[in-house]
């Protein structure tokens, strides 16, 4: 063993050098920049888009609405504002973020867009222990004011509340009594004509919005600061304007959510995007005929991408010059390209360590990459079919006695036709996987067909089958390695891993041990027949 | 562990052959001298080594019909691609009434032959698929000693030469299965040769040790190969003329013309070890230890023979030891 190291000292040094080229930047990223090492794609990542449509009259229009902010249960990762003739001002007030769009004097149809990437997480609210409330600040105190529009304090209501809250000694318990009364004892109806607050109590039925108002009113009457909260329930592909409203009550320095509609006490609904607090409408403007809608979709980004987006604004040069700074489509291309060297390592291992014969060096890797789009089953089926059809045409052409280059050109043409027809059939049958055949590496397949047919003629079908099976086996194995999402993301976040691959290849390149298949080749020595 | 057993027998694996021998000993620029049979032939003639006579050379498609003129003069001939590997693309032909006949009885028309030749020119059989030339040459006749052990083909002798020292050799006998070809993985028989005496030892067919030819049932061991020293001499001189450090020389014996080289291989295969039931590594290492620049051609041949003898004994000894160690 010692002599092996001595003879290959230079190779070991080179391998070590490349290993360091990988380890140093990777360690810097992991330990200093705190890159996540294992990527998991987040289930709670959402792309939110708000679209506002109206016809501008040509005056200086203004319009105001609220924006989500990062808070308990949600993180706003990435925001984007698009408008052609409007500029905007963002201001914070009373725990809300508002945006005011101001237009120039342009006339015509207007579109304003707000886009954001939001990560939600389940938020648990532990109820505070019993204790005396300190004096409320003026800010909190405002949430005890009773709405003047409602017949604020009538005798009937006070009496009812007195009965309801009999024997309660804490504000929390009072809030829970009111919550239980509204969710259990009052039926929910879609429409109710009565506008007074007492009629729902008398009739024991109310609409959702009445219940919400009633809850806030009763809580405030019981001396609990309460406010309403508005948000959007995040569901895949939602395209509507339906704002969900619930309440927050203030206990010992904490706002606790209480949702009458969804019957949640001290819990936020799952996948909720909190927009704003208070009784204002979501959007205010003097413009007539204003319409807004929003779309929500899951954003299956990796935690690396998320991490990058949340830290990109920190201004580190390392981030600025990383692959994440590329346009998204180019990023996707590089996600694939970075996999090719890894596939080549797999091929090296199969050929030099195991000793499996394949068509060409990179054929298996390219097939494996094509399989990523077709999935494995379809990929194997389609690939075999294309090869067999190509072989059939090649077999017929053999009788025509064509020269080599025109013959190869015909094979490549036939392949293009097969792939085009396959794609069209896929479209019409509705099996879209078939369409991905267009991504098969055509030129390499042409050479494969030619070599396969020569092998068939010269060495017989056993040999041809053996090499084909070897190629497919390596392709399938590479496919499994290359489709590990974590590996792909790791290479993308740590492209210096390619240096480690060079180190591995240098070592593989000096591997002078036996190949696994040489066990069979030299079996007569191993079984000791020679002695 | 089988790895250790193979290593203890000095079996050379393909990775080791590539990394430590062909890549180190064979300069890239000298490869064409082995890969291009035309260059090999010219070089051999310059060095006074016997080769099958070249009847004609076809370089361009418009010259294809010259093969018919050659066939008029020489009823037996061989067509081969200049840059074919492992005996690929070689066609042995005899003129007959309806065209040309192959040794297996298949009849080929003149038109088929022309198409075949144009395939060769387009690089069908060449290593990298690049354009090639077609050689039309003398058909070697089987020497009488081999008549009973060769099935429809000419046996050839492969000699491995390392740094000018012949280290191992084997004879390859065509079979019905190999269709007259001398390629071991196509079913030809590999027969080990005692390097000192030029006598065949045992045969290997599909990795199994055999004593008789499967088609003719004639014994294949104990055949004394004529011109043995001349053949070793030719092989060693192939190193001197190509400057390839690790090569396999394929020599045939013609009935009337004696030994001649068919081709030189810069990446000779490893099956020769199976045919000899001996490993190459120890011999190659022994050459590295004992070779001096002052050695003459004859001294190099003698060195190779001594090493082969020694290694055979030590290999047998090593075998005995490992099998004894395995059974305490």
Cross-chain CB nearest to B6 (options A509, A526, A531):
A526
Q: Which of B6, B11, B15 should one mutate to test binding to chain A, selecting the residue with the greatest count of A CBs within 10 A?
A: B15
Q: Who among A404, A515, A531 is closest to B15 (CB)?
A: A515
8 Å CB contact between B2 and A526:
yes
**Bridge-partner residues for B167, per DSSP?**
none
Chain B residues near any Cβ of chain A (below 8 Å)? 2-3, 5-7, 9, 11, 13-16, 19-20, 61, 88, 111, 115, 118-119, 122-124, 186, 204, 207-209, 270-271, 273-274, 277-279, 315-316, 319-320, 322-323
Question: DSSP states of A305-355 as a string?
Answer: HHHHHHHGGG--HHHHTSGGGS-HHHHHHHHHHTHHHHHHHHHHIIIIII-
* A520 neighbourhood in chain B, CB within 8 Å: 207
Helix (H, G, I), strand (E, B) or coil at A196: coil
* B326: confidence class by pLDDT, cuts 50, 70, 90: very low
8 Å CB contact between B159 and B166: yes
Range with lowest mean pLDDT among A45-54, A143-152, A356-365: A143-152
So what's the pLDDT on residue A354?
Answer: 92
Helix axes A376-400 and A461-482, enclosed angle (nearest 10): 150
Rounded mean pLDDT of B112-117?
A: 88
What pLDDT, in 10s, does the model give residues B208-238?
Answer: 888 888 888 888 888 999 999 999 999 999 9
Centre a 10 Å sphere on the Cβ of residue B157 and count the other Cβ atoms it contains: 27
What pLDDT was estimated at residue B320? 55
Which of A401, A509, A524 is nearest residue B274 as measured by Cβ atoms?
Answer: A524
Question: Tokens 């079979």 correspond to what residue?
Answer: B175
Task: Please tell me which of the candidates B207, B270, B316 has its beta carbon nearest to residue A524.
Answer: B207
CA–CA dist B268, B246 (Å, integer)? 8
Nearest CA in chain A to B276: A530
Chain segment B185-207, per-residue pLDDT in tens: 778 899 999 999 999 988 888 87
Q: Would you state the structure tokens that stand for residue B47, as one six-digit string?
A: 């060095």
- What pLDDT was estimated at residue B128? 60
Q: Which two tokens stand for residue A308?
A: 């990058």
What does the alpha-carbon distance between residue B57 and residue A255 come to, in Å, rounded to a whole number?
Answer: 96
Among A496, A25, A77, A79, which Cα is nearest to A305's? Answer: A77
pLDDT value at B120 more than 50 = yes
User: E-strand spans in B34-150?
Assistant: 54-58, 76-81, 91-96, 99-101, 107-108, 134-138
- The domains located in chain A, with CATH, are 45-122+296-300 (2.60.40), 138-269 (3.10.620.30), 330-493 (no CATH)
B320 neighbourhood in chain A, CB within 8 Å: 531
Query: Per the CB < 8 Å rule, is B319 touching A511?
Result: no
CB contact under 8 A, A524 and B19: no
Largest CA distance in chain A: 113
Contacts of A510 in chain B (CB under 8 A): 19
> What are the residues whose beta carbons fall under 8 Å from the beta carbon of A422, sequence distance 6 or more?
A382, A386, A434, A435, A437, A438
Phi, psi of A107 (to 5 degrees): -100, 150
| Number of neighbours of residue B128 by Cβ within 10 angstroms | 8
| C-alpha–C-alpha distance, residues B109 and B94, integer Å | 12
pLDDT at A286 over 90: no
Please give the DSSP secondary-structure letter assigned to residue A58.
Answer: S
Write out pLDDT tens, residues B133-172: 999 999 999 898 888 888 888 889 999 999 999 999 999 9
Length of chain B: 328
Sheet holding B258-265: strands in order across? B208-210, B199-205, B189-194, B165-173, B156-162, B246-254, B258-265
Q: What is the pLDDT of residues A235-249, one digit of tens each?
A: 766 566 678 889 988
Average pLDDT of chain A to the nearest whole number: 81
Which DSSP state fits A176? H
Position B301 confidence tier, pLDDT thresholds 50, 70, 90: very high
What is the Cα–Cα distance from B84 to B264, expressed in whole angstroms? Answer: 11
Domain ranges of chain B: 2-35+144-323, 53-138
pLDDT score for A194: 62
| Burial (Cβ within 10 Å: 0-12, 13-18, ≥19) of residue B309 | middle
Tokens 């070793």 belong to B232
Q: By CB neighbour count within 10 A (0-12 exposed, 13-18 middle, 19+ buried), where does B232 fall?
A: buried
Task: Give the one of B16, B111, B279 whose C-beta lies nearest to A512's C-beta.
Answer: B16
CA atoms of A498 and A501, how far apart (whole Å): 5
| Whole-number Cα distances in Å, A110 to A52, A64, A88, A113 | 8, 15, 14, 10
How many residues can be counted in chain A?
531
Nearest to A513 among B3, B118, B274 (CB): B3
Contact A526 B16 (CB under 8 A): no
Write the residue in B19, B115, B278 that is nearest to A512 by C-beta: B19
Partners of B111 on chain A (C-beta within 8 Å) are 401
Cβ <8 Å between B13 and A509: no
Q: How are beta strands B258-265 and B246-254 bridged, if at all?
A: antiparallel
State the average pLDDT for chain B.
87
With 70 as the cut, is the pLDDT of residue A213 above it?
yes
pLDDT, position B257: 93
Give pLDDT, residue B236: 94
Would you say residue A1 has pLDDT above 70? no
The strand pair at A187-188 and A205-206 is best described as: parallel
Q: B134-138 and B76-81 as β-strands: parallel, antiparallel, unpaired?
A: antiparallel
* Best residue of A356, A406, A512, A527 to probe chain B, by most B CBs closer than 10 Å: A512
Q: What is the pLDDT of residues A254-278, one digit of tens each?
A: 888 888 888 888 888 777 888 898 8
Could you give the CA distance from residue B253 to residue B225 in angstroms, rounded to a whole number? 9
**pLDDT confidence tier of residue B299, bands split at 50, 70 and 90:** very high
Domain B2-35+144-323 fold is D-amino Acid Aminotransferase; Chain A, domain 1 (3.30.470)
pLDDT of residue A501: 95
3-state secondary structure labels for all residues of A430-497: CCHHHHHHHHCCHHHHHHHHHHHHHHHHHHCHHHHHHHHHHHHHHHHHHHHHHCCHHHHHHHHHCCCH
Q: Give the single-character DSSP code of A159.
A: H
Measure in Å the smallest separation between the Cα of A469 and chain B Cα atoms: 18
CATH of domain B53-138: 3.30.1490
Q: DSSP class of residue B62?
A: G
Q: Which whole-number Å values give the CA distances from B263 to A274, B36, B90, B140, in the listed order?
A: 82, 9, 12, 13
**Structure confidence at residue B181 (pLDDT):** 77
Helix, strand or coil, per DSSP, at residue B221: coil
Give yes or no for residue A42 having a pLDDT over 70. no
Show residues of chain A in contact with B119, CB under 8 Å: 404
CA A493 to chain B, closest CA, distance in angstroms equals: 35
- What is the per-residue pLDDT across A499-512, written as a single tens digit (0 to 9) for each? 999 999 999 988 88
Is residue B319 predicted with pLDDT exceeding 60? no
pLDDT at A312: 56
Find the residue in B nearest to A509 (Cα). Answer: B19
Give the per-residue pLDDT at B5: 85
Q: Which residues of A touch B123 (CB under 8 A)?
A: 404
How many angstroms away from the CA of A2 is the closest CA of chain B?
Answer: 15
Residues 6+ apart with CB under 8 A from A89: A99, A100, A102
Residue A476 to chain B, least CA–CA distance (Å): 24
Give me Rg for the CA atoms of chain A. Answer: 34
What's the average model confidence in pLDDT over A8-25? 91
Return d(Cα B322, Cα A145) in angstroms, integer: 98
Q: What pLDDT score does B232 carry?
A: 95
Is the pLDDT at A195 greater than 70? The verdict is no
Task: Summarize pLDDT for A96-128 with one digit per residue, the tens.
Answer: 888 888 887 778 888 888 888 888 877 777 777
Q: Report the predicted TM-score, pTM, of the whole model to 2 decimal places.
A: 0.67
Concatenated DSSP letters of B125-184? SBTTS----EEEEEPPPBPGGGTTT-SSS--EEEEEEETTEEEEEEEEE--TTTTT---G
Instruction: Answer for the pair B61, B131: CB distance below 8 angstroms, yes or no.
Output: no
Strand partners, A283: A65
In this model, does residue B59 exceed pLDDT 60?
Answer: yes
- Tell me what percent of chain A is helix, strand and coil, each rounded to the nearest 5: 50, 20, 30
Check CB contact under 8 Å for B3 and A454: no
Q: What are the distances in angstroms from CA B189 to CA A462, B9, B312? A: 19, 22, 21
Q: Say if residues A214 and A232 touch (Cβ distance below 8 Å).
A: no
Q: Strand B165-173 and strand B156-162: pairing?
A: antiparallel
pLDDT band at A131 (very low <50, low <70, confident <90, very high): low
Q: For residues A484-492, give the mean pLDDT.
A: 84
Closest CA to A289 of A84, A81, A56: A56
Residue A440 — left, alpha, or beta (φ > 0 → left; ψ -120 to 50 → alpha)? beta
Report the chain A residue with the minimal C-alpha distance to residue B11. A522
Residue in B1, B4, B6 to test binding to A, most A beta-carbons within 10 Å? B6
Neighbours of B3 (CB within 10 A): 14
| Chain A residue numbers touching B273 (CB-CB < 8 A) | 522, 525
Q: What is the least distance, in Å, from the CA of B323 to any CA of chain A?
A: 7
pLDDT for B328 beyond 50: no
Q: Determine the residue of chain B that is closest to A451 in CA distance.
A: B124
How many whole angstroms separate alpha carbon B108 and alpha carbon B99? 6
- pLDDT score, position A306: 64
């Amino acid at each position: 063993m010692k002599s092996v190291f001595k003879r290959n000292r230079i190779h070991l040094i080179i391998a070590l050098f490349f290993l360091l080229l990988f380890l140093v930047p990777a360690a810097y990223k992991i330990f200093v920049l705190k890159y996540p090492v294992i990527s998991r794609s987040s289930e709670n990542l959402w792309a939110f888009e708000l679209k506002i449509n109206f016809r501008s009259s040509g005056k200086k229009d203004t319009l105001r609405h609220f924006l989500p902010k990062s808070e308990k249960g949600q993180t706003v990762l990435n925001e984007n504002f698009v408008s052609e003739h409007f500029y905007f001002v963002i201001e914070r007030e009373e725990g809300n973020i508002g945006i005011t769009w101001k237009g120039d004097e342009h006339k015509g149809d207007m579109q304003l867009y707000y886009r954001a990437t939001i990560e939600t997480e389940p938020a648990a609210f532990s109820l505070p222990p019993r204790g005396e409330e300190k004096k409320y600040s003026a800010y909190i105190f405002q949430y005890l004011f009773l709405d003047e529009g409602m017949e604020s304090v009538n005798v009937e209501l006070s009496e009812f509340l007195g009965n309801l809250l009999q024997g309660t000694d804490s504000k929390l318990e009072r809030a829970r009594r009111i919550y239980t009364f509204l969710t259990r004892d009052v039926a929910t109806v879609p429409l109710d004509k009565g506008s007074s607050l007492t009629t729902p109590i008398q009739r024991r039925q109310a609409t959702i919005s009445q219940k919400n108002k009633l809850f806030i009113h009763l809580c405030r009457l019981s001396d609990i600061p309460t406010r309403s909260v508005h948000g959007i329930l995040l569901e895949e592909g939602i395209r509507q304007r339906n704002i969900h409203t619930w309440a927050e009550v203030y206990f010992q320095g904490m706002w606790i959510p209480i949702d009458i509609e969804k019957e949640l006490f001290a819990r936020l609904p799952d996948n909720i995007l909190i927009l704003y607090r208070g009784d204002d409408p979501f959007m205010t403007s003097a413009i007539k005929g204003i319409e807004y809608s929003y779309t929500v979709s899951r954003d299956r980004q990796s935690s690396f991408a998320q991490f990058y987006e949340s830290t990109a604004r920190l201004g580190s040069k390392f981030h600025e010059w990383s692959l994440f700074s590329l346009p998204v489509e180019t990023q996707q291309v590089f996600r694939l390209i970075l996999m090719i060297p890894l596939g080549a390592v797999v091929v090296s291992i199969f050929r030099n360590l195991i000793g499996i014969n394949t068509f060409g060096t990179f054929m298996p890797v390219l097939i494996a990459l094509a399989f990523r789009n077709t999935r494995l089953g379809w990929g194997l089926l389609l690939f075999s079919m294309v090869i067999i059809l190509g072989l059939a045409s090649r077999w017929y052409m053999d009788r025509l006695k064509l020269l080599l280059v025109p013959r190869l050109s015909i094979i490549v043409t036939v392949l293009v036709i097969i792939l085009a027809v396959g794609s069209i059939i896929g479209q019409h049958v509705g099996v879209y996987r078939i369409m991905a055949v267009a991504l098969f590496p055509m030129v390499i397949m042409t050479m494969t067909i030619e070599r396969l047919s020569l092998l068939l003629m010269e060495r017989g079908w056993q040999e041809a089958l053996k090499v084909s099976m070897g190629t497919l086996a390596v392709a399938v194995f590479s496919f499994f390695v290359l489709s590990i999402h974590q590996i792909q993301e790791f290479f993308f976040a740590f492209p210096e891993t390619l240096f480690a691959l060079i180190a591995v290849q240098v070592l593989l390149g000096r591997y002078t041990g036996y190949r696994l298949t040489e066990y069979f080749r030299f079996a007569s020595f191993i079984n000791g027949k020679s002695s | 562990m089988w790895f250790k057993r193979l290593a203890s027998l000095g079996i050379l694996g393909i990775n080791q052959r590539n990394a430590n021998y062909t890549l180190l000993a064979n300069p890239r620029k000298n490869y064409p001298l082995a890969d291009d049979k035309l260059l090999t032939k010219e070089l051999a003639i310059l060095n006074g080594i016997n080769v099958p006579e070249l009847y004609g050379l076809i370089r361009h498609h418009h010259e294809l019909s010259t093969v018919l003129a050659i066939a008029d003069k020489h009823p037996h001939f061989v067509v081969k691609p200049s840059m074919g590997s492992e005996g690929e693309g070689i066609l042995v032909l005899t003129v007959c009434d309806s065209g040309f006949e192959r040794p297996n009885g298949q009849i080929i028309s003149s038109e088929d032959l022309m198409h075949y030749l144009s395939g060769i020119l387009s690089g069908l059989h060449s290593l990298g698929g690049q354009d090639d030339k077609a050689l039309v040459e003398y058909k070697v006749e089987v020497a009488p000693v081999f008549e009973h052990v060769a099935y429809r083909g000419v046996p050839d002798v492969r000699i491995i030469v390392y740094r000018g020292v012949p280290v191992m050799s084997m004879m390859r006998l065509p079979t019905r299965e190999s269709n007259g070809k001398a390629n071991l993985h196509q079913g030809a028989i590999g027969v080990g040769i005692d390097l000192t005496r030029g006598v065949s030892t045992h045969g290997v067919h599909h990795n199994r040790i055999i004593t008789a030819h499967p088609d003719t049932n004639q014994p294949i061991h104990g055949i004394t190969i004529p011109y043995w020293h001349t053949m070793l001499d030719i092989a060693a001189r192939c190193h001197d003329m190509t400057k390839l450090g690790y090569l396999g020389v394929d020599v045939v014996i013609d009935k009337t013309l004696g030994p001649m080289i068919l081709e030189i291989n810069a990446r000779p295969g490893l099956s020769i070890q199976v045919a000899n039931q001996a490993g190459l590594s120890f011999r190659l290492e022994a050459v590295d230890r004992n070779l001096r620049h002052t050695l003459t051609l004859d001294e190099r041949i003698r060195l190779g023979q001594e090493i082969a003898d020694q290694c055979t004994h030590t290999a047998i000894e090593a075998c005995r030891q490992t099998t004894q160690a395995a059974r305490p």
